[in-house]
């Protein structure tokens, strides 16, 4: 049973003529406007969700903390509800673009669902909703901590992750 947790997310925007645009979620924030000749990354990456609708967790493939996080999620995701992709891979870069981020931004874990993406502490809480008990319940209570506090803690750990946990030469996956 998935809990509904309000989360800061990025609306995935499909480039269409203004008169045919549809909103994907009333709770999502707008992504930056796209030029008419720009690649439509939602469309370009739609194949990731055609055969398999499970969300994709994007992580820093050379970060020991991130690789440990992936191992933790895999060990607590007995129903295999989440897929994984390194931020540094071509697929990861394209999914970052889909999420309104730059392709070289490895500053945050990102959870990409079919029609929205989550970053920083919101991504962590959303991932917790997908894995085994007691993590969905823990995510429910953690959502009441103000976003700026959660993201402050997240950013401090993320900014020091290589210093504290080190880095590996290649992605373990």
pLDDT in tens, 129-151: 999 999 999 999 999 999 999 99
pLDDT in tens, 62-80: 999 999 999 999 999 999 9
* Mean of all residue pLDDT scores within the chain: 82
Residue 157 or 44, more confident: 157
Question: Looking at residue 50, what is its pLDDT?
Answer: 93
Q: Are 106 and 87 within 8 A, CB to CB?
A: yes
Residue 103 or 172, more confident: 103
Backbone angles phi and psi of 117, in degrees to 5: -130, 150
Burial class of residue 76 in the structure, from the number of CB atoms within 10 Å of its CB (0-12 exposed, 13-18 middle, 19+ buried): middle
Question: Looking at residue 172, what is its pLDDT?
Answer: 65
Question: Looking at residue 173, what is its pLDDT?
Answer: 64
Instruction: Give me 72's structure tokens.
Output: 């933790």
Indicate the range of 25-39, 44-58, 104-118, 156-170 predicted with least confidence.
25-39
Q: What is the pTM of this model?
A: 0.76
Which domains are delineated in the chain?
A: 45-165 (3.40.30)
Name the residue among 93, 5, 11 with its Cα closest to residue 48. 93
pLDDT confidence band for 157 (50 / 70 / 90)? very high
């Amino acid at each position: 049973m998935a809990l509904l947790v309000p989360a800061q997310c990025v609306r995935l925007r499909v480039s269409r003529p203004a008169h045919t645009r549809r909103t994907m979620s009333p709770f999502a924030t707008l992504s930056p406007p796209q030029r008419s000749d720009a690649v439509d990354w939602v469309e370009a990456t739609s194949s990731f969700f055609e055969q398999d609708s499970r969300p994709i967790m994007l992580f820093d493939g050379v970060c020991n903390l991130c690789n440990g996080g992936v191992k933790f999620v895999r060990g607590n995701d007995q129903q295999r509800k989440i897929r994984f992709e390194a931020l540094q891979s071509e697929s990861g870069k394209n999914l970052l673009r889909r999420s309104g981020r730059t392709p070289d931004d490895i500053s945050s874990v990102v959870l990409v669902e079919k029609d929205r993406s989550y970053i920083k502490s919101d991504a962590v809480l959303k991932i917790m909703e997908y894995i085994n008990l007691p993590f969905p319940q823990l995510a429910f209570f953690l959502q009441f901590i103000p976003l700026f506090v959660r993201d402050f803690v997240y950013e401090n750990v993320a900014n020091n992750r290589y210093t504290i946990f080190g880095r590996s030469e290649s992605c373990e996956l």
